[in-house]
Structure 1
């Protein structure tokens, strides 16, 4: 079967090398070889081969895409729980405009989560994030939430992925995971910020994350509406954005 497929997969302009070798060492070519010579001389080799092509050869040539689809089918049951309850769309992550002339130093400090798109790994309330610089010029990210009457905290690292666009950060909360996009679409540094992230699955579909952050635990409705307009202009679906519970957050620090 392998020999059949190799013979049938000769591309236009290629010569059957096995036939050349056979002629070189065979002083008296057979009638079939002579007939083959006539076909080659008339430029009909590719046509003859194409007419007798083994269907299995087509499958062999398409195997990379078939293998990719097979991997996706295998991974899909593992990936869907990550997207469960979240906002996902077909296709790769979009390319969005971010805060011009972004000043990282002014952005550092504590931000409170005002509203967000559904996130499977955020189950508590009183969400807040604190950003500070480390000695190695990476950004220390500490996320804190209240869950079951207790404060839970996780530390991650953010980096500027492209110095020409400092508002596009990458964030990771484990040495075993790659940096995930964390883009500051807009901020006034003192009141609110619009933050977007996207998780791309083999460019087949992507999961949207979006946050409205505030320097205080609550923001005026007018401010929230203005931040949502920023997402809407970037064609980010806001229908499933929900407010974060920031009530009863007076617990001892972690």
Structure 2
């Protein structure tokens, strides 16, 4: 039987699968921010709202790499179980961002280790660099696409005037702001605490075996479960990619029944 910590790890891994919605056709054309400067976006941001997610205490940290036009984005989240005391674990998930066209630096490509579908577009729609930002990501499938929008803040609280402004910007680009979930940033435990386990999924952690090894210290059962979930996710993705069905309509209100899929988008 899995321990509470093991269940928490699986919930964290599986919960990320629903940070986007599925739609037929090509990705929508979303206008990138003109005059964008990536160096000003670097640093830590709190995620205030995000498409269809149940995450808590979610932050992004953008950093430079030695390669021009290449950056890293680290997602850090901590999870709660049934409203009880938060688990003593940090979940860190690191991907890479690349500027494809230097003339349009606000339009990038992002790649995360657990994304079996490959890279996704990553568009900075608007930001003032010091208080708020809104990001739109989209990944093309065979007959459909999946999308995610994220509202960021430099602080744990963001004035409603900025939130409304960014939601209106998304709506103007054809993105339904009502798909966004509010993410709690209150009572978040301190990161990098002395207790618990840090789960790190980094760009060189691509195989299900390596992912299982990343959490092996929480117990062999949970690590084996993670490996199973990753492999199941690959199977589900290929099934979806080859399907012509309307992925936006399901009985449970989700965009698709992907409870076993482990694929996170920022």
1:100 is matched with which residue?
34
Q: TM-score, normalised by structure 1?
A: 0.62
Larger radius of gyration, structure 1 or 2? 1
2:100 is matched with which residue?
161
2:112 is matched with which residue?
173
Pairs within 5 Å for 1:1-254? 86-119=20-53, 123-137=54-68, 138-148=70-80, 149=87, 150-174=89-113, 178-202=118-142, 204-253=143-192
Q: 1:200 to 1:185 in 2, by over 3 A?
A: same
C-alpha separation between the residues in 1 aligned to 2:149 and 2:189?
26
Question: Alpha-carbon deviation of 1:175?
Answer: 8.9
Equivalent residue of 2:177, what SS?
A: coil
C-alpha separation between the residues in 2 aligned to 1:220 and 1:176?
33
8 Å CA contact 1:115–1:244 kept in 2: the answer is yes
Question: Alpha-carbon deviation of 1:237?
Answer: 1.0
Equivalent residue of 2:178, what SS?
A: coil
Q: 1:84 to 1:250 in 2, by over 3 A?
A: closer
8 Å CA contact 1:83–1:207 kept in 2: the answer is no
Equivalent residue of 1:136, what SS?
A: coil
Q: 1:224 to 1:85 in 2, by over 3 A?
A: closer
C-alpha separation between the residues in 1 aligned to 2:115 and 2:39?
28
8 Å CA contact 1:142–1:156 kept in 2: the answer is yes
What value does the CA root-mean-square deviation take over the aligned residues? Answer: 2.3
Q: TM-score, normalised by structure 2?
A: 0.59
Q: 1:180 to 1:232 in 2, by over 3 A?
A: same
Question: Alpha-carbon deviation of 1:86?
Answer: 4.1
- Render the CA deviation track for 1:115-142: whole Å, top value 9, x for unaligned: 01115xxx53110010111112321211
Question: Alpha-carbon deviation of 1:179?
Answer: 2.3
* Corresponding residue pairs, total: 170
Question: Alpha-carbon deviation of 1:250?
Answer: 3.1
Q: 1:176 to 1:184 in 2, by over 3 A?
A: closer
C-alpha separation between the residues in 2 aligned to 1:132 and 1:213?
16
Which stretches in structure 2 are left out of the alignment for 5+ residues? 1-14, 81-86, 193-197, 199-266
Q: 1:109 to 1:83 in 2, by over 3 A?
A: closer
C-alpha separation between the residues in 2 aligned to 1:189 and 1:84?
27
8 Å CA contact 1:151–1:251 kept in 2: the answer is no
Q: Which has the larger share of helix?
A: 1
Q: 1:97 to 1:85 in 2, by over 3 A?
A: closer
